[in-house]
Amino acid sequence: MKNLHIGHCIGGVVIAVVLSVALGVSPGTLAVLAAALACPVVMIVMMRTMMAGHTADRPGDEEPVPHDPPR
């Protein structure tokens, strides 16, 4: 999941909503499902944006931070 394809995600949501409405699922049920999915989706987006550019592949990430010697 290196690249987040927003267009595909939005298309999937639109298809799911259209199918749900076509099958007779009430809008209230869709709203509850949307609210239940909002938390994990926002968490994934936040984690991906916070970790952007932070990799352990950079040299020096494994080295300990130098400290002053005790006196």
- pTM of the entire structure? 0.46
Domain assignment of residue 18, yes or no: yes
**Mean pLDDT of the 1-21 span:** 77
Residue-wise pLDDT tens digits, 37-64: 888 888 888 888 887 766 555 555 556 6
Residues 51 and 55: their CA atoms lie apart, in Å, by: 8
The pLDDT > 90 percentage for the chain reads 3
Q: What's the 3-state SS for 6-37?
A: HHHHHHHHHHHHHHHHHCCCCHHHHHHHHHHH
Residues 37 and 69: their CA atoms lie apart, in Å, by: 51
Structural domain containing residue 26: 12-50
How many domains does the chain contain in total? 1
Domain assignment of residue 45, yes or no: yes
Residues 51 and 37: their CA atoms lie apart, in Å, by: 22
Selected residue with higher pLDDT from 69 and 40: 40
**Mean pLDDT of the 28-38 span:** 87
